[in-house]
Every structure is written in C-alpha cells, then in structure tokens.
Structure 1
Amino acid sequence: MSQKQIAIVLVLLLNLTGSFVCAQKKETSKKEALTLAKEANQHMKAGNYEKSLIQSRLALSQAIKIKDNNLIARAYNTIAANFDQLSESDKAFFYYNKGLEYANKTNNDVLKNWLNNNLGNIYCFDKKQYEKGIYYYKKSLHYSTKTKDSAQIIFTKLNLTWAYFDNDRYQEGLPYLNYINKHHKKHGDESTIVALNMLNGMYHSHTNNTKKAHYFFQKAIEKGIKGTEKSDLSYSHLEFSKFLLKNNDYKNAYKNLVRYNTITEELNDQEKHNKANVAGINLEIDEYKREIDKIETEYKTKQLFLLQEQSRNKKIVIVLIAVLLLFFILFYFYSQNTQLKQKNKLKDLQSKVQENMINASINGQELERKKIAAFLHDNISALLSSAGLHLHAYTSKNQYSAQEIIKTKAILEEAHDQVRDLSHELMPSLLARFGLFDALDDLCEKNSNSILYFEYASSVDRKTRYDEDFEIKIYFIIMELLNNTIKHSQATRSELSIHEDNDFLNVNVMDNGQGFDSSKFHILEGFGINQIKARINNLKGTIVINSKIGFGTTIKIIVPITYQKKIIRPVFQSQ
C-alpha cells in the first residue's frame, strides 16, 4: 500500500472516530438532560419549586446545546408549570408559549396536548379570555384523541365543559358533559370527581331540576372535603351558593358563600406564601433567563446561518430545475404545435378535397340538369308535339275518329305537359329567358300559400343579367334555403331580399319560425348546409347563419358577382 493510500485511510479513520465521539457526546448530553428534567419534575411535584427551576434551567441548557427540540419543549413546560404553581401566571404563560413553539417542531403529541391544555387554563382561569381558552382546549383534545389517551380526553373535555358553563353556554358544553358522565367511571381520575359533580349541579341548576342539582352539589362538596383539590371545593361552594340563592334558600346560600370565601382566603394565603418563597430566587431566575436567552440566541444564529446556506443551495437547485422544466415545457409546446399544424394542414387538405368533391358533384348535377332539360325540351317535347300535330291532322281529315285515337291524343298531350313541367323544374325557363330576379320572384310566389308567405324584395333592376352559371348557382342555393324554411322552420312569414354592393350580391333570407341553436353545427348538417356552404365557397362568397330558439332564423350570403362575358366582334374598315 502506498503512502498516499495510507494517508487517505488514516483521514477516513480520524473522521469516523470524530463522528463517533461527537455522537457519543451528544448521547451523553441527552441522557444528562433527561435526568435533569426528571429531577426537576420530581422537585416540582414535591413543592420544591426553587430546586425544580434550577434543574429545569440546567436541563434546558443541555437540550439547547444538543438541539433537541423535544427536550427543549419539555424543559420549558416544566419551568412554566413551576411558575403556574407559584401563581406567576404571566411568566408561566410566556414559558408555555416557548415550549409550544418547540413542541410543534416535533412529533410528540403528548407534550403538545399538555402545553395546549395549560395555555387553555391560563386563558380561562387567569385572563378570562374564554374563546382563546376554548381554542387551546380543543387543540389539546385533538392531540389527546390522536394519542388515544382516554384519561386525558376526559380531563380536557372536563375543562371544555367548565369553560362553556362558566360562560353560560350550556348547550355547547352539554355534549362534553354527557361524554364525561358516560366514560368517567372507566377512564376518569379521582382528582376530577369534584369538578364533575359540580358541573352536573351547574347544568341541572340551569335546567331548573332542583332535586338533581342539589344532589350533585352536595356530592361535589362531600368529595371535595375528603380530597386535596381545594380550588375545586371552593368553586363547588360558590356554585352551590348561587343555586341556593336562585331557589330563595338564603341561609344555606350564605353559609356556602362564607365557606367559599374561607377556602379562597386559605388558597390566597398559600399563594402569598409561595410568592414570598419565590421572591428570593427571582433575581437568580432572571439571571437564568438571560443566560438561557443567550444560549438560545447563539443557537438561533447558528441555525439561521445554516438555513441561509440551505436556502442558497435550494435557490440554485430551484433555478436549475426551473430552467430544465422551462426547456421541457418549450420543447413539449413546440412538438405539440408542430403536430397541431400538421393536423390542421391535414384537416384543411381533407376539407378542400371534400369541398372539391361536393363542388364537382354540384357542378355535375347542374350540368346534367341543363343537358336533361335541354334534351327534354328540344327533343322529347318536340317529338311529342310532332306526334300530336300528326294526330290532329288525321282527325281533321276524318270526321269520325276512333275512341283509341282520341285517348292517344289525350295521352300525348299529358306526356307533353309532364315533360315540359319536368324540364322547367330541372332548369326554369324564366331563369334562362328572363334572368335570376324574375325566376326568384316566381319561386317565392309559387312557394307561398295560406300557411307560409314568402315576400320578395330586390333593389336590383329585374332586367339585370349575370353570367349564366352564376345565376343558376345562386338560384339553386336560394331554392335550397327556401325548401329548408318550408320543411323545418314552422314559420308563417319569410322574406327574401337582394341588393348589390360594390360588385357583391347580398342575399338575406329571414323567417319568423321556431329557430334553432346555430352554435350546434351537427343540427345544421341535416338541413343541407354543407352543400350550400360548398356552393358559396365555390363562388368565393361567405354565409352567416344567426338563429335562436323561438326567435326565427336569419341567413346572410355575400358573393362576388360574375358578370356576363362581353363578346368582342371584329371591326371591319371600309375602303
């Protein structure tokens, strides 16, 4: 093994040894802090508040050094509880809040329960701020329920009941009292039996159940005399006094009130004694407080430095992630946009192909109409007319005509009429001979009846002629729209109006029918709108459909006019 490799191994061993030593020191400090915390708690329970406060301060110093939030919160709770016992409620309130601040950084729900409950006590008993007290009691109940601590649940619900009852909110406190009455025997504590009986007495006094109220107050006082909770006993005498006064038993009310005052004075004397005992150590406690604050400030400074370092690193990571994320988003949108453009191109291509197919079909239909109409008019109709003339000539020469000849003549005339009608239907003669406007006027007149009337209006001279194909296309577009009105609108009146505007033909078709939701295109497809739109697109025009259910329909068409092509004749010069 080379010297370099040996040096690396030695460095690693030193690092591991250092880490192990640090871990051992931290574990030792933690054990010391736990031992000090237990001793402080034992001293407090024994009434040695000075020793408890000193031990708590030492436990807090150790806990802050090893950055153990759980131990810090416990130490603050013990310090606060000492001041609570010494009736120093402001100091207790301060340290309970400090304890809760650190407890909230841990998973110790038991400690959170104690601290919230203690803060609720201070708000309700000392500050008389019931809403805040109830808030902290409910938080305490949340944590005791979470840890499934049945005894603590009973205790917290007892506090909530008292907070509501002492504020005359009996209906809000009643569910908690019912729960305690049901479960106290199994999960309750003897220390709460006096308070429970007192609360039952208060509730029955409120509901004017004199017998039950008297029973529970008496039971509370009996249990209180035997017990150690003098504060609960004093409150029981006070509430019993109020009840007796309410029921006009002034003598016993006075006796209980005197008893309340006596116990209260005893408690006050005890409180003064405690304060006298603690007065001598106040200066020392303040010195401890300054030292604790100093340690805590150093801890917070280090923590702030670490947080700033973490924050800086986080920002760098966030920026890198944001840049990568932005790159992926831009790439995603670019690829999506490319796909969308391709899809749109494909759709446009499909739409154009479909439109070209429709236009080709329409043009083919119109061409076939013209051919069939011309063939029927020029050939079939002419042949039928010729046959009719020959029959007429024959019957003119012969005075007597056979019955078959007469029937044949009638059949030929009927066939001639039907061929002529079919020819006109395929290609109206008015359209070919007199132009678009006479043909449309005739179309409106033919379709009008007693149920639906078509009104025709045009500002264009009736003699105006356009390109023949243009007139045919416009005629059949309007004919389709009028057919839709007849079939679907249930209208009683419709208006067709036409006017020219800068080489554009404006066509408006309006009706007062039932209308439809024009935003739902699938409804329109059944009306042949696709074919109409294809014809208008073929003419480079536009169509706008406005319709509302119950308010009729308006269709506006604008198409560029195709005029007749002028025939240029050669000009010959004379010599």
Structure 2
Amino acid sequence: MSNIQVLIILLFISLATNQSIAQKNTLTKNEITQLAHNANANMKAGNFEKSLLESRLALKYAIAAKDNNGIASCYNTIAANFDELAEFDKAFYFYKKGLLYANKTNNTILKNWINNNLGNIYCFDKKQYEKGIYYYKKSLGYSREMKDSSQMVFTKLNITWAYFDIGEFQNGLPYLNFINKHHQNYGGESTIVALNMLNGMYYSYKNETKKAVFYFEKAIELGNKGNEKSDLSYTYQEYSKLLFKTGNFKYAYTCLNAYNTITDALNTEEKLKKTNVAGINLQIDEYKRDIDKIATDYKTKQHVLLEEQSRNKKIVIVVISLLLTLFVLFYFFTQNKQLKQKNKIKDIQSKIQQNIINASIDGQELERKKIAAFLHDNISALLSSAGLHLNVFTSSSHTPSEEILKTKYILSEAHLKIRDLSHELMPALLVRFGLLFALDDLCEKNSNSRITFEFHNSIPIKKRYPEKLEMKVYFIISELLNNIIKHSKASKSICRIDEKGAKLHIIITDNGKGFDTKKFHVVEGFGLNQVRARIKNMEGEFSVISKINYGTTVELLIPINDI
C-alpha cells in the first residue's frame, strides 16, 4: 500500500470520526479546544498525518469563531508537526503566524512556547543567534510572568547554550550560574546532560582543565544512561575540542568518533521519520495554500466588514463634526455679540469718565484763575488800601502805638502771602511773559540741595502760544515735576521742550528709582493717569518709559492750537 493510499484512508477515518463536528457551521470554544488538544496529542504520539488534519479542521472553525487563542494554538500545533519532521522553514512560517495571533491574547503559556521554539529555529537551524537569543529572552519574560521556575531554568539553559555556541561566555555565565543554583529543585532529567556539558564548555574556556574534564565525563556518563542522544553527541564534540587543546589526541579521536557515530544514528532516524511520512511531504505546499486560503477568505470578509464599519463611522464623525462646528460657530457668534455690547458699554463709560475728568480739570483751572484774579484784584487791593491808611495815620502821629505797628506788619505779611498764593494759582510770569519763561522759573524754584531741575529749550524764549494751551501745558509739567519730587528720589531731572512740526515736543527725564509702568494706574490724585487723560483731551500723545532703579522718561507731544 502506497503512502498516498494510507493518507487517503486516514483522511476518511478522520472525517468519519469528526462527521458530527463537520456538519456544524460553527463550534464552541470548548469543542475547538478539544479538537486542537487531540491534534496536539497525535503530534506527540508521532501521528503527524492525523495531527495535521485535525489541526487544519480546528483552525477552520477557530477562524470562523474569531477565536484568536484557538487560531494561535492551531498554528503552533501545525508548526510543531513540521518541526518534528525537520521541515524547519515551514515550521518557522507557522510559528510566526501563531505568534501573531497569540500576541492578541492573554495566553502567556502559549506565547512562552512559541517564542522559545522560534529561538530554537533561529539558533540551531538558521544560525542567527542574535535573533534566537531575542526570542529566548521574550520567552523568559513570560516564564517570569507565570512564575514558572522550571520553565525559567529550561529557557535560561537555551540562552546559555546560544551564548556559549558563539563564544560569548561572559554573557552566558549569569544564566549558567542561575541554572546551577536552581536545577536541583526545578530542572529535569532531560536537561541534566546539557547542563554538565555547558559547565564543561565554560571551564574549558577558562582553561580550568580538571573541572572541564569532570563535567564532560559526567555528561557522557549520564547521556549513555538516558535518551538524550542529541545532547550526548554535542558533549562528545565539545569534549574532543578540549582534548585536542590539551594534547590528548588519542582520547580526542575516540570522542570525535563517538560524536560522528551518534550523529549518524540521529540523522538516520530523521531520514526514517521523513520516509514514513513522505505522503505528507508531497502535500505540504497544497496544505499550506489551503490554510492560507482559509485565512485569506476570513481576512477578506473582515476587510469588507471593517470597511463598512469605517464608512459608517466616518458618516457619524462627519455629522457630529458638523453639529459641533455649528454649535461652536453659534457660541462664538453669541459671545462676539455680547463682547461687542460690553465694549460699547465700556466705550461709553470711558467717554463719560473722560468727560468727567476733563470737566473736573477744566473747572479746577477756571476756579484757579478766578480765585487768583479775586485774590489779586480784590483782597490784595483791600489789604494794600488798609496798609496805605495805616501809613498815613502813623505818619501823622508822632508816637504810634505798638498795636498799630503790629497791625501794619500783619497786613503787610498777609498782602505778601495773598500775592504768593495768587501767583501760585496763576503765575505772573506765565501771564506776562509766556510759557517758556514760566517753565524756566518753575525749574529754578523747584531746585534745591537734594534735586536739581534743568530746563532746556530750543524755541525762542519770548515766543507766546494761545493762553489756554500755555496754562494747560504749564500745570501738566508742574504736576509731573511734583511727582518727581514726591516719589522718584532723584537727584537730577531735565525738562526739554521744542517744536516738532505743529506740535510741542516735551521730554522730562529723571535719574530716580523708577517704577513698574504696568502699575502706574494705581497712583491717586492728579497722577499719570489724569495727565494721560488731559493729553488725550488735547488730542496729543503721551508715553512713559521707566525701569526700576534706572529712572523715568515722560514724553508729551501736544498739538499747538487754540484749545
């Protein structure tokens, strides 16, 4: 009976035993798991044909059920079958597919085994040790997560072997130390030969020949008693290297001959295994295409479903976006309307406040002028007249009384104070000689031992301006000079005035302590804010530059017109 006939008979047996399952469109997860378990059990028993058929059927239902764990398990079983058949490229392909689905699950045990098996293929078949060690370490991470000490010992043994195989003994040593410490409690008989061989390799690298010989001999003794022929053959090979290095050529050739004998026997077994399943090898490519077709059909359906979901999602997003946009636009429209109304109210309030300030200042200047005129024209005249009468009386009286003389002195002093107050309210120099004379006199009067005011003028000093303009500019500058005296702690200030086109350009600087220009609005009384308001009312420009400890500069630009 040919291998193909055997395969056909096994196929009919499998279909008969699974007829009740195959008639169903879907299986439960428990049924898929049981079918996959049967496939795995047949693989371990060497029934590779039946295992592959069962795992293929389980894979079909797992894909239909969208069971990532089942899909990953089936791919792992398929890969393990090819691994046992020494079809490493195909095993590698299915391990990779299995890992893709396993990573979508919480099955740490499965992820652990697939990563470990990929490490084996990379190291022992592809000889890509760097990638192999990467997958071993991924497997080790899952072993730690599961707190599986036995699996940790097993995986660290693989990592040690990989490092030692490429001569990186120092990188492998920490893993070897761990195995030596924990193997007695968590290791197994299947790894004891490999452990002794690895110790022999390490001490051979360290040139500690006695220890190396001890471990190699022990590995050979245990290997001859057990079934780990592959590990035994590697032991003979590594031991022969040490013996050649130490000059024991006779025993080295003996070990090398033993290595070749065991390796040939293993190769013969592998060939025999492949011969027994030749029928499967003939259909491997077709089998792979069938599995890929199942996965492709599933992916196509998934793609169509995802496209439909994506389209619906986009429609929902567009509708929600439009609603949000309309809501935002409506919100900003109402906010903008409210803001405009608030700004209008603020503008009206600001204008009202400005008018109040201007009216207040204009009223103060008018009252100042009236009071000054009243004091000068009336009170001062009356005091002068009273003093004149007293002078006539005292000149006609040979011995004026002391009370008369005191009264005369008091009247004279009152006359002087009234005159000074009148001049302060409305300086005589400002009225008679104009703004420039008055400012020069103002700087001179305010100068003392603590602060000096300098007046610089590029305009002819006799030039006159409209009376109201001169009065307003004089009192503005007077207030700025008073601010310097009260607050700046300056030792020097300069008032500079010239004409810039049809405007008066005034700069007042001091070397005082300066201040934060953002906070000057808190100054009370006729301060900078009111000066700014007054300049604005005169349609002029006002700016302040000040820095703490570096003084202050106030710049005014006032149109020359009849206010």
| TM beyond 0.5 | yes
Q: Is the 8 Å Cα contact of residues 119 and 136 (structure 1) preserved in structure 2? A: yes
Work out the CA distance in 2 between the residues paired with 1:289 and 1:539: 95
The answer as to whether partners of 2:202 and 2:212 remain within 8 angstroms in 1 is no
* Distance of 1:428 and 1:453 partners within structure 2: 21
Aligned partners of 1:161 and 1:329: how far apart in 2? 64
Cα separation, 1, equivalents of 2:405 and 2:29: 132
Give the conservation status (yes or no) of the 8 Å contact 1:112–1:143.
yes
Preserved contact between residue 495 and residue 509 of structure 2 (Cα < 8 Å)? yes
- 1:17 aligned residue: none
1:217/1:240 contact within 8 Å kept: no
- Offset, 1:468: 3.2
- Say whether residues 1:82 and 2:81 are aligned partners: yes
Letter in 2 for 1:503: A
Q: How far has the Cα of 1:561 moved from its partner?
A: 3.0
Partner of 1:37: 36
Cα shift at 1:234: 6.9
3-state SS of 2:543 partner? strand
Query: For residues 307 and 426 of structure 1, do their structure 2 counterparts lie closer, same or farther at Cα, with a shift above 3 Å needed?
Result: same
Match of 2:309 in 1: 310
Q: Which residue of 2 aligns with 1:327?
A: 326
Q: Which deviates the most, 183-192 or 251-260?
A: 251-260
2: distance between equivalents of 1:391 and 1:216?
143
CA displacement 1:283-328 (0-9 Å, x = unmatched): 2111101221222222222222222222222222222122112111
Kept in 1, the 8 Å contact 2:26–2:61? The answer is no
Q: Give 1:522's aligned residue.
A: 519
Do structure 1's residue 338 and structure 2's residue 334 form an aligned pair? no
Give the corresponding residue for 1:415: 414
Matched, 1:277 2:273: yes
Find the aligned partners of 2:390 and 2:495 in 1 and give their Cα distance: 46
Task: Provide closer, same or farther for how the CA distance between residues 23 and 450 of structure 1 changes in structure 2, counting only shifts above 3 A.
Answer: farther
| SS of aligned partner of 1:454 | strand
- C-alpha displacement of 1:74: 1.2
Return the alpha-carbon distance in structure 1 between the equivalents of residues 207 and 450 of structure 2.
84
* 2:361 pairs with 1:362: yes
Give the CA deviation at 1:130: 5.5
Q: Please list, as runs of the form range in 1=range in 2, the aligned pairs for 1:6-45 lying within 5 A after superposition.
A: 25-28=24-27, 33-45=32-44
Inter-CA distance 187–273: structure 2 relative to 1 (3 Å threshold): closer
In structure 2, the CA distance between the partners of 1:317 and 1:549, relative to structure 1 (3 Å rule), is same
Map of 1:290 onto structure 2? 289
Q: Which residue of 1 aligns with 2:483?
A: 484
Please give the per-residue CA displacement for 1:74-113, whole angstroms capped at 9, x wherever unaligned.
Answer: 1111222333344444333222221122233444444334
The letter of the residue matching 1:367 is L
Quote the Cα distance in structure 1 between the aligned partners of 2:68 and 2:93.
17
Map residues 45-64 of structure 1 onto 2, 5 A cutoff. Answer: 45-64=44-63
Q: Does the 8 Å contact 1:376/1:419 carry over to 2?
A: yes
Q: What one-letter code is carried by the residue in structure 2 that aligns with 1:350?
A: Q
Q: What is the correspondence of 1:463-502 to structure 2 with a 5 Å cutoff?
A: 463-502=462-501
Secondary structure of 2:283's counterpart equals helix
Q: Deviations over 1:254-283 (max 9, x none)?
A: 979986995587457525642563362332
Secondary structure of the structure 2 residue equivalent to 1:25: coil
Mapped pair 1:250 → 2:249: no
Would the alpha carbon gap of residues 552 and 69 (structure 1) be closer, same or farther in structure 2, given more than 3 Å must change? same
Correspondence for 2:559: 560
Question: Deviations for 1:171-224, whole angstroms, at most 9, x for unmatched residues?
Answer: 988887888788777766665667778888989999x89799879967994896
Give the Cα separation in 1 of the matches to 2:313 and 2:71: 28
Matches within 5 A, 1:155-194: none
In 2, the alpha carbon distance for the partners of 1:317 and 1:87 equals 53
The within-5 A match list for 1:148-159 is 151-152=150-151
Check conservation: 1:234, 1:259, Cα contact below 8 A. Answer: no
* Structure 1 partner of 2:110: 111
Does structure 2 conserve the Cα–Cα contact (< 8 Å) formed by 1:516 and 1:549?
yes
Please list the CA deviations of residues 387-433 of structure 1 after superposition, one character each: whole Å capped at 9, or x if unmatched. 43344444444454555444444444433333333333333332233
Once residues 213 and 342 of structure 2 are traced to their aligned partners in structure 1, the CA distance between those partners, rounded to angstroms, is 87
2:98 paired residue number: 99
Task: Give the 3 Å change call, closer, same or farther, for CA 463–126 of structure 1 in structure 2.
Answer: farther
Distance 1:481 1:68, change over 3 A: same
Amino acid at match of 1:41: N
Q: Distance in 1 between matches of 2:199 and 2:398?
A: 133
What is the CA–CA distance in structure 2 between the aligned matches of 1:86 and 1:390, rounded to whole Å? 146
Q: Percent identity?
A: 61
Mark the CA change 1:258 to 1:342 in structure 2 (over 3 Å): closer, same or farther.
farther
CA distance in structure 1 between the aligned counterparts of 2:162 and 2:66, rounded to whole angstroms: 37
Tell me, in whole angstroms, the C-alpha distance in 1 between the residues paired with 2:552 and 2:168.
66
Structure 2 unmatched runs, 5+ = 1-19
- How many angstroms apart in 2 are the aligned matches of 1:218 and 1:469? 118
Distance in 1 (CA, whole Å) between partners of 2:412 and 2:238 is 121
What does residue 545 of structure 2 align with? 546
SS of 1:508's equivalent in the other structure is strand
After TM superposition, the score normalised by the length of structure 1 is 0.75
Tell me if structure 2 keeps the 8 A contact 1:204–1:210: yes
Contact 2:159 2:175 in 1 (8 A): yes
Aligned-partner SS, 1:505: strand
Map of 2:3 onto structure 1: none
Report the AA paired with residue 472 of structure 2: K
Partner of residue 10, structure 2: none
* Shift in alpha-carbon separation, 1:204–1:270, aligned structure 2, 3 A: closer
Aligned residue type for 1:525: V
Structure 2: distance between partners of 1:50 and 1:409: 144
How many Å separate the matches in 1 of 2:393 and 2:173?
Answer: 121
Q: CA deviation at 1:53?
A: 3.5
Distance 1:217 1:340, change over 3 A: farther
Cα 1:119–1:331 change in 2 (3 A) is farther
Following superposition, the deviation at residue 143 of structure 1 comes to 4.8
Give the drift of 1:238. 8.1
Q: Within the alignment, does 1:437 sit opposite 2:436 as a pair?
A: yes
Hey, what's the Cα distance between the residues in 2 that align with 1:219 and 1:442? Answer: 119
Q: What is the CA distance between 1:332 and its match in structure 2? A: 2.0
Paired with 1:271 and 1:203, the residues of 2 have a C-alpha distance of 28
**Runs (5+) with no aligned partner, structure 1:** 1-20, 565-575
Q: For residues 512 and 178 of structure 1, what CA distance do their matches in structure 2 show?
A: 80
Taking the aligned partners of 1:275 and 1:160, their CA distance within structure 2 comes to 29
Task: Provide the aligned length of Structure 1 versus Structure 2.
Answer: 538
Structural RMSD (CA): 4.6
